[in-house]
Amino acid sequence: MTNLIKVVFMTALLPVSVSFGSELMVAMVSLDEATKQVRQDSKVKVLGAKTESIEDRKVHVIKILTPDGRIQYQRIDAETGRLLGRDR
């Protein structure tokens, strides 16, 4: 009987933990973290950074100077940290 109570209790908690786990996956990437990611991934100099809303999404826009002297903008998804593209 005690084991049955434990199983019922754990089964009741399962949806809560799954829901809680999925909320953790949606954690935001800060502008500072995105800037550090750009610095680590390439040999560029960061000239500036800001967060914008593009199509109802938070996007970090990092202004960089490439090794060959060109200015570019890297866009990073603030929710996932994924590189969205580079504007030239």
Hey, where are the domains in the chain?
2-87
Taking the CA atoms of residue 87, residue 82, residue 27 and residue 37 in that order, the dihedral angle to the nearest 10 degrees is: -80
The CATH number that domain 2-87 falls under is 3.10.450.40
Question: Which single residue is written with the structure tokens 């590189």?
Answer: 83
Give pTM, 2 decimals. 0.65
58 CB-contact burial (10 Å; exposed 0-12 / middle 13-18 / buried 19+): middle
Over its length of 88 residues, how does the chain's per-residue pLDDT go in tens digits?
Answer: 555 555 444 544 444 433 444 444 456 899 999 999 888 877 899 999 999 998 888 999 999 999 999 999 999 999 999 989 877 6
